[in-house]
Copies of this chain bind each other. A is one copy, B any other.
Amino acid sequence: MQLKVQPIDIKVGKFKVVLNNLDAKELGVNPGDRVRIKNHTTVTAIVDFTEDMISPGMIGLYHEVQEQLHREWTETVEVEPAEKPKSARIIRKVMDQQKLTKEEIYELVKDITEENLTDIEVSAFLTASYINDMTEEETEWLTRAMVDSGEKIEFDMHPIVDKHSIGGVPGNKITLLIVPIVAANGLLIPKTSSRAITGAGGTADLMEVLAPVEFTASQIKEMTQKVGGVIVWGGATNIAPADDKLIKVEYPLSIDPHCQLLASIMAKKSAVGADKVVIDLPMGSGTKIPDMATGRKLARDLMSLGERLGMEVDCALTYGSSPVGRTIGPALEVREALKVLESMEGPNSFIEKSVGLAGMLLEMGGAAARGQGHDLALETLQNGKALAKFKEIIAIQGGDPNVTSNDIQIGEFSAEVKAPSNGYIIEFRNKRIVQIARLAGAPNDKGAGVYIHRKLGESVKQGEPVITIYAEKEAKLQAALKSARQDPPLIVEGMLIERLTDIREV
């Protein structure tokens, strides 16, 4: 069918066109079907319908289709029905819990990467793989297909080490210590990180306080070879792009299918050429790992997938019921990390976790003997080598290497939330703390966040601050404060056991 082009200057992220109902009927296509649009080049696009926005005889081309056809533009195009992509049948197999072949998984990942699937189809795939999961073999293929969906970094030198945290615990700024510790000991660590989606600050948001974080794969390779490590935003690269597309659909569903979680982590590590990887699995209420059994299974699966991919993977189940350190929000967290690097001044929970994981990497990478990693990591912090290396990393990414913890700008508006009575912190809700930090402006306002004066189990006196909220804008401070008052992130109570003792004494 010949149709006259009507450009629609809207980007929809996919190849999409709009047909009038009458033409669609004539073509025999339904909404969500595909058509082939032939000009000098051919584009397959997803069809939407309209009764009145597009007249009969016309075809509305969204931005992406226009761009694809652009080079040899004509006023009319030939439109014909196109079959569904093979991936539609492949997704149906996942729903029916039939095992996919390697070729099918590659086809599916290709279509996901190239935006050939509708949201409906990608959502069905993720929902089905959340419910039915995949076999180890399928998960390996999925990971390899994700790696092959984008750019890869290959280093001449080995080993390449890397770390990943599966998230779920607020204030997890350990990468800011681990990368310099590891790189200071001669290992290469090309660390790509994420920005916060639902959190108050991803590692990329934190690092951005100190230096630019958006680089290409080849820049990452070059910088890593020069100074030993980088801390950059993975989203700016074309590394495992299929994964980013899937995350966009997982987010609104609030799911993280097991096989996708595995493939997502390992594809990103494999694509940067990592040989030795440590994975931080925060465990506890509010994290992705409610109990030890779940954590052990995930660790086993990650290690087994690593083996299939030729990577040595070690996992650490870490304490995740409380934030790491005492700060949440980009600038506050960076200041806390810099203080530790400058003077070892800072919370034990933060230092110990960082040193522990860095030590594992030092041992795996051969920079420390078995059992000596922790001590070497601690020493690297104490003797200032980690700080020196961190300055090199900041410099190579284009930041100011002379920055100190005192230079970090924290939001100028602040308010304390005080203890209503003497007692102990008997409940500390990570998710609420994150919500309050986000209401205060984090991660977009780098200076916004929360300082935690008292953590779970600590004692506090009436009127003492339990948290301080920081913001760059007064209205956001007020919104965060209001929320903290309406639904407090922590609960202070007298020690009930002592009271019971009192009763017995009567």
Which A residues form the contact surface with B (CB < 8 A)? Answer: 8-11, 18, 25-26, 28, 30-33, 50, 52-53, 84, 88, 91-92, 95, 97, 118-124, 126-128, 130-132, 197-198, 248-249, 251-255, 438-439, 441, 444
Interface centre among A122, A438, A444 (most CB of B within 10 A): A444
Rounded to whole angstroms, the CA-CA distance of A54 and B121 in the bound complex is: 28
Most B CB within 10 A of own CB, among A8, A127, A251, A444: A127
Query: Within the assembled complex, what's the spacing in Å between the Cα atoms of A10 and B128?
Result: 32
Partner among B10, B198, B444 whose Cβ is within 8 Å of the Cβ of A53: B10
Q: Is the CB of B121 within 8 A of A124?
A: no
A17 → chain B closest CB, angstroms: 12
Beta-carbon contact of A53 and B11 below 8 Å? yes
19 pairs, A vs B, C-beta closer than 8 Å: A8-B10, A10-B53, A11-B50, A31-B252, A32-B251, A91-B253, A92-B253, A92-B254, A95-B131, A95-B255, A119-B119, A120-B253, A121-B123, A121-B252, A123-B123, A124-B124, A127-B127, A127-B128, A131-B132
Contact call B32/A252, Cβ cutoff below 8 A: yes
Bound Cα distance A124, B124 (Å): 6
Point out the residue from B25, B84, B120 that lies within 8 Å of A120, measured CB to CB: B120
Given A25-B444, A128-B127, A130-B95, decide whether A9 and B255 contact each other with a Cβ distance below 8 A. no
A62 to chain B, nearest CB (A): 9
- Measured between beta carbons, the chain B residues less than 8 angstroms from A92 are 253-255
Q: Quote the shortest CB–CB distance from A236 to chain B (angstroms).
A: 13
The answer to whether A127 touches B123, judged by C-beta atoms less than 8 angstroms apart, is: yes
Of chain B, the residue at the smallest CB distance from A479 is B80
Residues of the B chain whose Cβ atoms lie less than 8 Å from the Cβ of A130 = 95
CA distance A131 to B95 in the complex (A): 7
A98: shortest Cβ distance to chain B, in Å?
12
Instruction: Report how far A249 CA is from B119 CA in the complex, Å.
Output: 10
In contact, A121 and B253 (Cβ under 8 angstroms): yes
Compute how far the CA of A95 lies from the CA of B132 in the bound complex, rounded to whole angstroms: 10
Bound CA span A32–B32, Å: 19
Chain B residues near A53 (CB, 8 Å)?
Answer: 9-11
Partner of A31, one of B28, B32, B118, B248: B248
A478 to B128 Cα, complex, angstroms:
41
A257 nearest CB neighbor, chain B only: B95
With a CB–CB cut-off of 8 A, which chain B residues contact A119?
118-120, 123
* Measured CA separation A33–B252 after assembly (Å): 7
Pair B121/A120 contact, Cβ less than 8 Å: no
Residues of B within 8 A of A131 (CB): 95, 97, 127-128, 131-132
Interchain CA distance A118-B132 in the complex, whole Å: 23
State the Cβ distance, A27 to closest chain B Cβ, in Å. 9
Given the complex, which residues of B lie within 8 Å of A124, measured CB to CB? 123-124, 126-127, 253, 255
Bound form: Cα–Cα A314–B9 in Å: 54
Q: Sort A-B residue pairs by CB-CB distance and give the 6 closest, nearest first.
A: A32-B252, A123-B123, A127-B127, A120-B123, A25-B444, A124-B127
Q: How far is the CA of A444 from the CA of B9 in the complex (A)?
A: 31
- Shortest CB-to-CB span from A38 to chain B, Å, is 15
Q: Could you tell me if A120 and B255 are in contact, using CB atoms closer than 8 angstroms?
A: no
In the bound complex, how far is the Cα of B10 from the Cα of A18, in angstroms?
A: 10
A251 touches B30 (CB 8 A): yes
- What's the least CB distance linking A101 to chain B, in Å? 20
Given A32-B252, A88-B252, A119-B123, 18 more contacts at CB 8 Å? A8-B10, A9-B53, A26-B444, A31-B248, A31-B252, A84-B252, A91-B253, A95-B127, A95-B130, A118-B119, A119-B120, A120-B120, A123-B127, A124-B127, A124-B255, A127-B127, A131-B131, A131-B132
In the bound assembly, the distance between CA atoms of A119 and B123 in angstroms comes to: 8
- A122 neighbours in B (Cβ, 8 Å): 120
Q: Which residue of B lies closest to A50 (CB)?
A: B11
Cβ-defined contact, A249 with B444, below 8 A: no
- Point out the residues of chain B lying under 8 angstroms from A128, CB to CB: 127, 131
